[in-house]
Amino acid sequence: MNTEALLVRTPDHHATSGTGSSTPLCPATNPGARSSRVADRDEADEFLHQYYAELPDRPIPLTERLSQILTDIDTTGTYHQTPDELAFGARVAWRNSSRCIGRLYWNSLRVLDRRDATSPEEIHQHLCEHLHQATNLGRIRPVISVFAPDTPEQPAPRVWNDQLIRYAGYRRDDGTVLGDPAYTGFTDLARQLGWQAPEGPFDVLPVVIETADHKPQLFEFPPDLILEVPITHPDHPQIGDLALRWHAVPAISNMRLRIGGINYPLAPFNGWYMGTEIGARSLVDEDRFNLLPAVAECLGLDTSSEASLWRDRALVELNVAVLHSFNTADVKISDHHTESRRFLTHLAREERNGRTVPADWSWIVPPVSGGITPVFHRYYDEAEQRPNFHLDDHARALGRGRCPHPH
């Protein structure tokens, strides 16, 4: 994977750090044509009918509210969703997220309406509050913070990071990486913007915030806002000697929330971790921390032959360590067997309510012991439903520390 940041000089657009220093780099905002930011009338109509069908006791009749919305779109190109409409849309977007196994609690999503925030400083403060509410002293709560949408007048604010909390990756002269190799490009970019990198294996990256009226700016979260869990094993203390840790809140920040024909590119949201996300992907993937060989050595496994299944054995013990560590620290996490059963409960509940549950099998089936979980042995409807979350190429490029524009 090419994670090199593509930085070029431009005369009129600079990214700045919180200390006021600046580094020229390619313009990151991708405002698009004005017409692409106009609210979609058909989607607005569809969304409002869905809203009134599921929550019929509204203070304004459907026909009156729909007339208001369509008139606003025809006049201004967009419309303002009420706080209740926004909250309903955000929760249903989670309910419709085909790659998420943890949707049973979609209706408990805490929705923070941050559409009035205009400056990077305000946005940063709201992101800090998001982490505070989501962390909840380890009792992780599902939270979404919804910032201003795209409008015909100006593009929405953005956070360049793909998650609010990610670990830096430092390229070393011998070709190896200290930290997370997936984020070497973003780490390079952050350092270009003035970040004073500590150069440790688990350094939390700063966030880059950009608005239509402000240059991209770098912000760090106060350390006491970021809850981290040291990884130890109940039976193999050598794994603790690896000095691993992981953060408690997986807050995705580069997915575009689309509700009723309106795009909200900055709508960071989180649930809580399923253990395999850490113990079978982030700490294990070869383009991430790639720790299976080190764990196998701790366990004294024979790695000379794949037939010894040393990878499988190391993988299971690392996942045991992750679940043990979070539970010992009283930080909420779920195992893949429990979460699989919860998903089938969600499926049955939605079907009783006459709703289809879209699901991507390749994402719903856990990466460990998939065949012995109940979600493995069935087919799913893959139709995309609205409202929903979307990832575009522009957001993907920013999350990797790349300029999204061709040169």
Nearest CA among 276, 372, 274, 273 for reference residue 315? 276
- Residue 164 CA, distance from chain mean position: 7
Which amino acid does the sequence have at 296?
Answer: A
Residues 174-187: tens digit of each pLDDT = 999 999 999 999 99
Residues 185-215: tens digit of each pLDDT = 999 999 999 999 999 999 999 999 999 999 9
Any idea which residues carry the catalytic annotation?
100, 103, 272, 277
Report the distance separating Cα 306 and Cα 374, nearest Å. 28
Average pLDDT, the chain: 91
pLDDT of residue 401: 85
Give the DSSP letter of residue 370: G
% of the chain beyond a pLDDT of 70: 90
Alpha-carbon radius of gyration of the chain = 22
* Burial (CB count within 10 angstroms: exposed 0-12, middle 13-18, buried 19+), residue 184: buried
pLDDT of residue 27: 41
pTM of the model: 0.92
pLDDT of residue 392: 85
Evaluate whether 93 touches 335 at the Cβ level (below 8 Å).
Answer: no
% of the chain beyond a pLDDT of 90: 86
pLDDT of residue 23: 39
* Burial (CB count within 10 angstroms: exposed 0-12, middle 13-18, buried 19+), residue 159: buried
Residues 390-407: tens digit of each pLDDT = 998 889 888 888 865 554
pLDDT of residue 5: 25
Backbone angles phi, psi at 170, to 5 degrees: -110, 120
For the cut 70, the answer to whether the pLDDT of residue 125 exceeds it is: yes
Report the distance separating Cα 368 and Cα 101, nearest Å. 14
Q: Token pair for residue 226?
A: 């970021």
Confidence of residue 156 (pLDDT cuts 50, 70, 90): very high
Residues 21-80: tens digit of each pLDDT = 333 344 444 545 566 799 999 999 999 999 999 999 999 999 999 999 999 999 999 999
- Contacts of 157 by beta carbon, 8 Å cutoff, 6+ apart: 117, 120, 123, 147, 148, 209, 210, 211, 212, 265, 266
pLDDT of residue 69: 98
Residues 315-374: tens digit of each pLDDT = 999 999 999 999 999 999 999 999 999 999 999 999 999 999 999 999 999 999 999 999
